[in-house]
Amino acid sequence: MKRIVIAGATSGIGLETARLCIREGWRVGAAGRRLEALEALRAEAPGQVEIEPLDITRDDATEHLARLIDRLGGMDIYLHSSGIGSQNTVLRPDIELQTLRTNGEGFVRMVTAAFRYFRKQGYGHLAVISSIAGTKGLGAAPAYSATKRMQNTYIDALAQLARMENVPIRFTDIRPGFVATPLLAQGGNYPMRMKTEKVARRILQVLRRPRRRVVIDRRYAWLVFGWKLIPQWLWERLKVRTKE
């Protein structure tokens, strides 16, 4: 029976993935800010789910993570599904800085804690949900796209570090396109929006049979391929944004 800890399991992709892991018979450690949502998830399978409220932007988040792992009886997989994002063409500083705190500082706080745990244990699978937004700088969401690029690079660096230290940790960088989650509920006309359940099913496949990097889904894989071919001078002249 696999033991997975999911940070950001209170809604969206994290919640749906947690439910699929429960159906697989795995032990699930669910973490997030909203205690009532965590308790509702535990009520679905009391014998398989342990919960711990935590805020990844707080210094004590790793202490809460350690308590959750102890109650779960250990951790084989860590899935980081916690993050925020906003369109912010007016560049409100509070939105940009909060995005940095959550997707940057909070991300580093949690994945390094998971890395240290797996390093000590001698094995593990560290998976993160980043985004195709890390492919290029999106003018409609500067901090979001920048932090997602940082997450891509950070996981690359941790993978190299594990190799340097000869520690058999598996890494997976999961890059979805637009997903119908509360994160997109703030408004906007997002093209090719995917259902949360579909994305969660693909994530479960990757957790069963780890891959180093995966773009969800095939349409977005082709989109990202095309983005990478666009010269920077041309990219800066494109109006890549959704309708608000």
The predicted pLDDT at position 188 comes to: 52
* Joined tokens for residue 214: 């995966």
pLDDT grade for 190, boundaries at 50, 70 and 90: low
The predicted pLDDT at position 243 comes to: 43
- Non-local (6+) Cβ contacts of 203 within 8 A are 13, 17, 79, 127, 129, 174, 216
pLDDT grade for 181, boundaries at 50, 70 and 90: low
What global pTM score does this model have?
0.90
* Of 78, 117, 123, 144, catalytic: 144
* Joined tokens for residue 234: 């041309």
- Is 144 tagged catalytic? yes
Residue 147 has pLDDT above 80, yes or no: yes
In angstroms, what CA-CA distances link 75 with 72, 113, 115, 121?
7, 12, 11, 9
User: Could you give phi then psi for residue 48, rounded to 5 degrees?
Assistant: -115, -15
Residue 131 has pLDDT above 70, yes or no: yes
Residue 207 has pLDDT above 90, yes or no: yes
Classify residue 217 by burial, with Cβ atoms within 10 Å: 0-12, 13-18, 19+. middle
The predicted pLDDT at position 192 comes to: 62
User: Could you give phi then psi for residue 141, rounded to 5 degrees?
Assistant: -145, 70
- CA 180 vs. chain centroid, Å, equals 15
The CATH classification number of 3-235 equals 3.40.50.720
Range of lowest pLDDT (13-22, 56-65, 195-204): 195-204
Residue 244 has pLDDT above 50, yes or no: no
Note the pLDDT tens digit of each residue in 50-89. Answer: 999 999 999 999 999 999 999 999 999 999 999 998 888 8
> Average of pLDDT values for 162-174?
97
In angstroms, what CA-CA distances link 47 with 41, 42, 51, 74, 145?
11, 8, 12, 15, 39
Report the alpha-carbon distance of residue 38 to residue 53 in Å, rounded.
8
